[in-house]
Amino acid sequence: MEKKVILFDLDGTLTDSADGIIKSVSYALSKMGIEHNPEELVCFVGPPLMDSFMTFYKMDETQSREAIRLYRERYGVTGIFENRMYEDVPETMNKLLNDGYRLGIATCKPEKFAKIVCDKFDMTKYFEAICGTAMDSGVQTTKAEVIADALGRLGVSASETVMVGDRHHDIEGAKSHNMTSVGVTYGYARAGELESAGADYIIDSLKELTDRELITRICHARFNVL
């Protein structure tokens, strides 16, 4: 089946958001009296925050929720705007739309923040659905669950869809739905991360998706690392 829907991660895939995220994580850790090196916080860009606080700072669930609250205290006012859109986004999105693809966003960022970012950079017009996590659901949301939500809102199956992202969570979320995945190397993945996660394709720039031969291969076949 030809795949006609492309889902994109947001942080590290469409925007370079590291500065605002890192500064807001550092703010939260400082407020909690936790020593840290801000230069080592790039690992927080992309994955669910609760996972990251629990994994990298050994917090329990209660502590992690408090860290997220403090993070949002800064991020929602300042950090969200310490961000920039990658320059290839407008050309790539317009080309894909002109070629008949349907586009959506699936991000572990709270949906409220994702929509603010998309509006800020005039990206909202490209996407039929911008799907993220709930701000205060009390339940941790995985990438696989966000993807499932996006599929439901778009009314499509995983077999019709491609997931594009920069971290292993994006690839693993896609694999959980047996969905074709494309990893991008310009984001925040560590060396070998996308390969280890099992990305079907790996590209070095978003603009590569405007290549008709490449996008046709991605949307008709699987398991090719470029």
Domain ranges across the chain: 5-16+84-218, 18-81
Q: What is the pLDDT of residues 42-67, one digit of tens each?
A: 989 878 888 899 999 999 999 999 99
Q: What is the domain class of 18-81 according to CATH?
A: mainly alpha
Instruction: Give the three-class secondary structure for 81.
Output: helix
- What is the C-alpha to C-alpha distance for residues 21 and 24, in angstroms, rounded to an integer? 5
Asked whether the CA dihedral 109, 50, 169, 44 is positive or negative, the reply is positive
Residue type, 101: Y
At 183, give phi and psi (nearest 5°).
Answer: -95, 140
The residues annotated with a catalytic role in the active site are 9
Question: How high is the pLDDT of residue 51?
Answer: 87
Question: In 100-143, where do the E strands start and end?
Answer: 102-110, 129-133
SS3 content of the chain, % helix, strand, coil (to 5): 50, 15, 35
Quote the pTM value.
Answer: 0.91
Question: How high is the pLDDT of residue 141?
Answer: 81
- CATH tag, 5-16+84-218: 3.40.50.1000
C-beta of residue 38 within 8 angstroms of C-beta of residue 26 = yes
Q: What is the pLDDT along the chain (226 residues), one digit of tens a residue?
A: 678 999 999 999 999 999 999 999 999 999 999 999 998 999 898 788 888 999 999 999 999 999 999 999 999 999 999 999 999 999 999 999 999 999 999 999 999 999 999 999 999 999 999 999 987 744 568 999 999 999 999 999 999 999 999 999 999 999 999 999 999 999 999 999 999 999 999 999 999 999 989 999 998 854 444 4
| CA dist list (Å): 126 to 102, 120, 179, 223 | 9, 13, 22, 27
Question: How high is the pLDDT of residue 226?
Answer: 44
